[in-house]
Amino acid sequence: MIERGKISAFQMAFLMYPTIIATAIISVPTIMASHAGQDLWLSPIWASLLGILMVVTAYRLNKMFPKMSLIEYSCLIIGRVPAKIVGFLFFFMYAHDNGFVLRQYGEFLIDSFLPETPIIVVIGSMVMVCAFAVRGGVEVLARCAQLFVPVMLLFLVLINALLLPELDPSHMFPVLEKGLGASLMGSVPAQGWFVEFIDIAFLLPFLTDREQGLKWGIYSVFAVMLTMIAISFVALFLFGTMIDSFNYPVLTATRYVSLADFVQHVEALLMAVWVLGAFVKIAVFYYVLVLIASQWLNLSDARPIVFPLGFLLLPLSIWVAPNLQEMSAFFSTSAFFYIVSIKGVIPVLLLVIAYVRFRFGKKRGDKG
């Protein structure tokens, strides 16, 4: 066993929440609005269905192979060589995905707060911090998440509450002007975020209360969905259908905050709090990446590869896209298919094959 730490299902939910929401919160309203218009708040509901599917898939697979992660049981399900290919795909996917997340993080900070700082410094410092957390193992990540998520939520609610006087609910009408299709279209890019719930396939083996995993996984999906709906509403009520002209609508929204001429320009505060969420997200991705790499290569200890992989992530985050515009275009068009084809389709296929082989065939599944 590479990881000796244990977390509870409750902690897993705390880990997953910022893992999905951290980057979603800054850019998803724009992407959803570009397809769904004023119905963007419906899109997270459709998208969350995929999240639930991923949680159920991961949970079912884990139930058949309790102490194994996706990389380990794929060996048992589809054989060694295909499993190594799947493992490589996942390794590459997570590395690439983490590159995207780091880049988004860097671009967001450079664009809005630190225009003169080289992006490599911003990303590099974050990778360093995450590397220390990842070395600490899943327990450390979970504890950090447990501390940071309430702080993040508190400030988000506070900032949005200060926006209340500016909100105009009439922007949401007419509801379903273009039928359900528009909001369904809007949900497609959002599913790119919800499919990340497959991360729990790597966390479930470390749970102390595995039977609670499904419950808390689904709670986490709901929490993410509700948060997305809430920020969609705030963005919609504030900007109307103009949302899609802002790169970072939530950030822009905070510029409207003004309380007693004293509390104003709280963007920097939002950024500071958001960094906590981004840290958890990047660290979880990083952790899963390290876990995949060490399980794929059958390493006995994951710690020695933490820093090398971090060093790999740094240039990867620069290479993933030439600039912010191309990256945004990628995320509102083809990213969904790319991410879902690996993180979504492969686990579901594995589950189907496992069912066919072990449930309808001989009962051999309860190893490990």
Partner 1 sequence: MRFVYKAARKRKKSGSDHPSARDLQPENPQHPLSADLNENRSILESIYADCMDVVIRDFLIAGETKALLVYIDGLSNIDLIDQHVLAPLMQASSKPGDTDAMVQTKVTVSERKGLTTFAELIEQVAKGNPVLIVDGQVRAFAFGLAKWDKRGVEEPVAESVIRGPREGFTETLSVNTSLIRRKLKSPALKIKSIQVGRYTRTSVAIAYVEGIAQPALVEEVTKRIQRIDIDGVLESGYIEEMIQDYPFSPFPQLLTTERPDAATGALLEGRVVILMDGTPFSLIAPATLFSLLQSPEDYYERFMIGTFVRWLRYLFFLFALTAPSIYVAILTFHQEMIPTALLLSVAQSREEIPFPALVEAFLMEVTFEALREAGVRLPKQVGAAVSIVGALVIGQAATAAGLVSSPMVMVVAITGIASFMIPRYTAGIALRILRFPMILLAGMLGLLGLMLGVILIVVHLSTIRSFGVPYLSPLAPMKGRDMKDVLFRAPLWALNTRPRLTGDSNLYRQAPGQKPGPAKGDEHG
> Residues interacting with partner 1, by CB under 8 A?
7-8, 10-11, 109, 113-114, 117, 121-122, 125-126, 129, 132-133, 136, 139-140, 142-144, 146-148, 261-262, 264-266, 268-269, 271-272, 275-276, 279
Place of tokens 């709090």: 273
Q: Is 342 within 8 Å of 88 (Cβ atoms)?
A: no
Nearer to partner 1, 140 or 314 (CB): 140
CB of 179 to partner 1, least distance (A): 43
Alpha-carbon gap, residue 141 to 56, rounded angstroms: 23
CB of 334 to partner 1, least distance (A): 31
Nearer to partner 1, 169 or 261 (CB): 261
Nearer to partner 1, 208 or 334 (CB): 208
The residues with which 207 forms a beta bridge, in sequence order, are 7
CB of 160 to partner 1, least distance (A): 18
Using alpha carbons, select from 197, 195, 225 the residue that is nearest to residue 13.
Answer: 197
CB of 200 to partner 1, least distance (A): 18
Q: Is 208 within 8 Å of 6 (Cβ atoms)?
A: yes
Q: Tokens standing for 292?
A: 């995949």
Q: Provide the residue type at 59 as one letter.
A: Y
CB of 278 to partner 1, least distance (A): 10
Alpha-carbon gap, residue 264 to 162, rounded angstroms: 10
3-state secondary structure of 259: strand
Nearer to partner 1, 133 or 243 (CB): 133
Nearer to partner 1, 2 or 140 (CB): 140
b/e code 248-259 from CB counts within 10 Å (16+ = b): bbbbbbbeebee
CB of 11 to partner 1, least distance (A): 6
Nearer to partner 1, 114 or 353 (CB): 114
Nearer to partner 1, 142 or 250 (CB): 142
CB of 211 to partner 1, least distance (A): 19
Phi and psi (nearest 5°) for 259? -125, 120
Alpha-carbon gap, residue 286 to 275, rounded angstroms: 16
* Alpha carbon separation from 217 to 63, 197, 229, 270 (Å, rounded): 14, 8, 18, 27
Which residues are CB-neighbours of 219 under 8 A, at least 6 positions away?
A: 13
Q: Tokens standing for 182?
A: 């528009």
Nearer to partner 1, 114 or 172 (CB): 114
CB of 264 to partner 1, least distance (A): 7
